[in-house]
Amino acid sequence: MSSPILCDWCQTTVFDKHLLALIGRGTAPTSLNQDPFAVMIDPLAYFGNRNALAGFRRSFGQNTELLLRNAARGCIFCILLRNIRGGLRGDFEFSITVQDPWKWSTVTVAAHGDENTNLTGYFRVYKTVSPTKLASSGSVFSNPQLPEQDANISPANNDLLQHEGSLPRQLVRDCRAVRVLVDDCTANHPNCKPRESLGFPSLLLEITGTSASPAVRLIKASDIKVVPIRYVCLSYCWGGIQPNMTTTSRLDSYIAGIDTAEIPETILDAIRVSIGMGYQYLWVDAFCIVQDSEQEKIAELGKMASIYSGAIFTICVMSAKSATEGFLRQAYSNCSDDQSIRTWHADIRDAISQVAAASLEIRSDFSNEDIFDSPILERGWTFQEALLSPRLVMFFAHGQRPTLRCSTHTVQSDGGRIAAHPKPLVNLRELEQVVERAKPKAEYYIQTAKAEEWVTIVKQFSQRSFTYQADKMPAIMGIVLEWKALFMQGQYWAGLWSKTLAKDLIWKARTDYSPRAACESYVAPSWSWASRAHPVYYQSLGDMLSFEGAYLFEVVSCEVIPVHEDLPNGAIKSAKLTVKCIAELVDLGAPESEDVSFTVSSGGVNLVFDDSPRPRDIRKAWLLSINDEEPYNLPHGIGIAVAEVGITDADGTKLYKRIGIFVCSGRGLEGPQRTFTLI
């Protein structure tokens, strides 16, 4: 293809003077119909709300003959239109839709009488800056300088290039660009300042050589003389046992040196990225934890919070399903590969001066692939790795640019900004900011904000999968340690907090999952969401977490015994909770019915069982009242249902297990308070 351009028709009709006139101007457009692209430059400057034009649509008419002529001359937008609908004849219409000003906007072509064969193309508009700076969309970041030797690197030159040796040159450029973003974040983002480190990992991979030919060995952190140690972490999917991970027998030889042929491709790619970004030390669990030493594993598991929160950033592999797949090959496919996604840029000229005032970027694909549809967001261990890390450098598949996520923004190596990312990719500093914003309000609102954020964590974490269910509690204990320090919600009891226990107990099984059951092996007590082998959410009645209500529920005692004394927030050996509350014994009716509705002293009750199918041997249950509230003059009560387990405690006390959650219309339960011990 000839050098990319933008034809006069696209320049004057689509990307017109209204766009250029508004660049850098701080006033809102007078007509959204005339100026749809203004908000793509800096929507916050114009509207104060980057979603102001979400879903905005504008249509144009065009002639096929003119389109094909301009496409042949190299107009990239006309090429995009032509490629979307190759069989155009005569006059046609196309529409642009701004889905989100920071994401890829869309263009759709519809020929007259042919409405069922639409395809969608993608484009973005960037503000033009000097060639020695990264392009930014308005106030995304402060245009940090690239290294002097890379002065010729600009976003307009980010096509997939030929390989230098075994590495694509675009990878080298992206690594340097992301390093600039990371340095800018560490220097200029007050919300991204790291917490004081609680300690360093025991082992790190020391990397020397080049990205194409790295030299790797294990090194003890205590032998590194430079303090603080600047290291990078890796978050990835194992995809099975790794054959060459560090063991007691391999430790000494790995300290001497590791043959790169023994390193799985995903980890080897992370080594290449670390070198490309100028970092010498990398922490990877498979190599930096002695995998066959129970003592070493316990020691390092206890450091998870400090290991990930103390890293400069974590490389997050969004594409590979296993350690053997690698991720750079997927991200930097060869140009000749039809499956790769390439991008092209062309200048948008100022109509008077004819100088470049903005840059148009188009993509070569016509799909709508969700870049966050990733296997790493399904695995249990990777949840806390993202939440604890101050920064993620995410690598996607199919030519998507590597992306930095920090507490301030999510920005791609070419300067493009992603407006939103899935909730599991936030970090604890962002959650801390949510609580900070509640502080000017009453103490109740502060505690509510904390409770709501923990509920969000539980809902997200419960959707993750584990190869071994016994890993469930250890895989979240790094978050627990940081949460204690940040939010001070009392004691941690098997996934719940003592200060918000009444609210934390009101979790509910996702009824769209069936069958539903507890984990096959013991993971947590029945009153904990962690005991379940399926996702959970929290009952919302009149926005339950936002109404204080009347908590006629008292915790008498709670005892949680860990499997390992050195990991008090990790795997659980046993636990019991003794509570005092209003309770009522009910008959559950025929065992065939999954949900049960009946009447108690104060009104109607609906009970949803945790298990599906429901337990057939349980015919009676106690309803334990937890909350009685009246939001918007709609009184109701809520609580949990428990049943006897047929055994007693050492002192003869009856023991109960949770079997479900109930909602009571009216004023909740009535009657005397009783004491129950739940396991």
Q: Identify whether the C-beta of residue 643 lies closer than 8 Å to the C-beta of residue 622.
A: yes
Rounded Cα gap, residues 229 and 206, in angstroms? 11
Q: Which residue has the higher pLDDT, 195 or 75?
A: 75
Phi, psi of 620 (to 5 degrees): -130, 150
What is the percent of the chain where pLDDT is above 70? 68
With 80 as the cut, is the pLDDT of residue 142 above it? no
Largest CA distance in the chain: 91
Instruction: Supply the pLDDT for residue 33.
Output: 34
pLDDT at residue 185 greater than cutoff 90: yes
Q: What's the Cα-to-Cα distance from 482 to each of 297, 379, 463, 473, 487, rounded to whole Å? A: 20, 21, 21, 15, 8
* Residue 381: pLDDT over 70: yes
Written as six digits, the tokens of 194 are: 């790291």
B/e letters for 481-498, b = 16+ CB within 10 Å, e = fewer, are: bbbbebbebeebbbbbbe
The band of 417, judged by pLDDT with boundaries at 50, 70 and 90, is low
β pairing state of 603-609 and 595-600: antiparallel
The residue ranges of every structural domain in the chain are: 8-127, 190-336+370-422, 429-678
Nearest CA among 157, 126, 139 for reference residue 358: 126
Q: Considering only CA atoms, which of 397, 396, 308 is closest in space to residue 410?
A: 396
- In angstroms, the Cα distances linking 237 to 285, 378, 533, 635 are 11, 9, 20, 47
Residue 244: other Cβ atoms inside 10 A: 17
Q: 98-122 pLDDT, tens per residue?
A: 554 445 677 877 655 444 445 677 7
Contact 521, 470 (CB under 8 A): yes
The pLDDT of residue 73: 84
pLDDT band at 583 (very low <50, low <70, confident <90, very high): very high
Best-predicted range by mean pLDDT (247-256, 368-377, 659-668): 247-256
Burial of 289 (0-12, 13-18, 19+ CB in 10 A): buried
Say what the pLDDT of residue 504 is. Answer: 92
**Which tokens in the block code for residue 157?**
């030159």
pLDDT band at 68 (very low <50, low <70, confident <90, very high): confident
- In degrees, rounded to 5, the angle at the alpha carbon of residue 47 between the alpha carbons of residues 42 and 53 is 80
Helix H, strand E, coil C: the string for 357-384 is: EEEEEEECCCCCCCCCCCHHHCECHHHH
pLDDT at 138 over 80: no
- What is the reported pLDDT for 147? 27
Give per-residue pLDDT as tens, 205-251.
999 998 889 999 999 999 999 988 999 999 999 999 998 999 999 99
pLDDT at 144: 29
Residue 483: in which H helix or E strand, if any? helix 477-487
* pLDDT for residue 149: 27
DSSP labels, 233-269? EEE----S--TT---TTTHHHHHH-B-GGGS-HHHHH
pLDDT band at 342 (very low <50, low <70, confident <90, very high): low
pLDDT for 570: 97
User: What's the pLDDT score for residue 34?
Assistant: 32
Is residue 409 very low, low, confident or very high in pLDDT (cuts 50, 70, 90)? confident
Question: In this structure, are residues 513 and 608 in contact, taking their beta carbons and an 8 Å threshold?
Answer: no
Nearest Cα neighbor of 239 from 391, 381, 394, 395 is: 381
Cβ–Cβ < 8 Å for 320, 266: yes
Provide the pLDDT for residue 74. Answer: 82
Nearest Cα to Cα of residue 418 among 154, 146, 99 = 99
If one compares 481 and 146, the residue with the highest pLDDT of the two is: 481
Residue 355, φ and ψ in degrees, nearest 5: -95, 160
Please report the pLDDT score of residue 230 as a whole number.
94
> Does residue 558 surpass a pLDDT of 70?
yes
pLDDT score for 600: 80
Percent of the chain with pLDDT over 90: 42
Exposure of 442 by Cβ count < 10 A (0-12 exposed, 13-18 middle, 19+ buried)?
A: exposed
Q: Mean pLDDT throughout 559-574?
A: 97
pLDDT score of 3: 56
User: Residue 504 is encoded by which pair of tokens?
Assistant: 């934390």
Query: Residue 20: pLDDT above 60?
Result: no
- For 270, counting Cβ atoms within 10 Å of its Cβ (0-12 exposed, 13-18 middle, 19+ buried), the class is buried
Query: Given a cut of 60, is residue 134 above it in pLDDT?
Result: no
Please give the residue that has the higher pLDDT: either 114 or 37: 114
d(C-alpha 288, C-alpha 72), whole Å: 55
Does the structure show a pLDDT above 60 at 158? no
* 160 pLDDT more than 50: no
- Which strands, in side-by-side order, build the sheet including 356-363? 56-63, 91-98, 105-110, 120-127, 356-363, 343-349
Q: Residue 130 — pLDDT band, cuts 50, 70, 90?
A: very low
Contacts of 416 (CB under 8 A, 6+ apart): 102, 124, 126, 137, 361, 401
Strand partners, 578: 557, 677
At 125, list the tokens.
Answer: 């508009």
- Give the integer Cα–Cα distance in Å for 632 and 511: 27
Q: Is 411 helix (H, G, I), strand (E, B) or coil?
A: strand
Q: What is the reported pLDDT for 277?
A: 94
Residue 159 corresponds to which tokens in the numbers above?
């096509």
pTM: 0.73
pLDDT digits (tens, 9 = 90+) for 359-375: 676 765 544 456 677 88
Q: Which two tokens stand for residue 166?
A: 């075994």
Window from 258-267, 411-420, 479-488, 661-670 with minimum mean pLDDT: 411-420
Secondary structure (3-state) at 498 = helix
Collapsing DSSP to helix, strand or coil, 444 comes out as helix
Q: Is the dihedral of CA 315, 170, 349, 11 positive or negative?
A: negative
Per the CB < 8 A criterion, the answer to whether 368 and 120 are in contact is yes
- Across the chain, mean pLDDT equals 77
Q: How many helices (H) and strands (E) does the chain have?
A: 18, 28
- Structure confidence at residue 397 (pLDDT): 78
d(CA 137, CA 143): 10
pLDDT at 518: 95
Strand, helix or coil at 315?
strand
Residue of higher predicted confidence among 137 and 102: 102
Q: How high is the pLDDT of residue 345?
A: 64
Q: Rounded to whole angstroms, what are the CA distances from 570 to 298, 344, 496, 581?
A: 10, 50, 13, 29
Check whether 552 has a pLDDT greater than 80.
Answer: no
Task: Give the pair of three-digit tokens for residue 674.
Answer: 């009783």
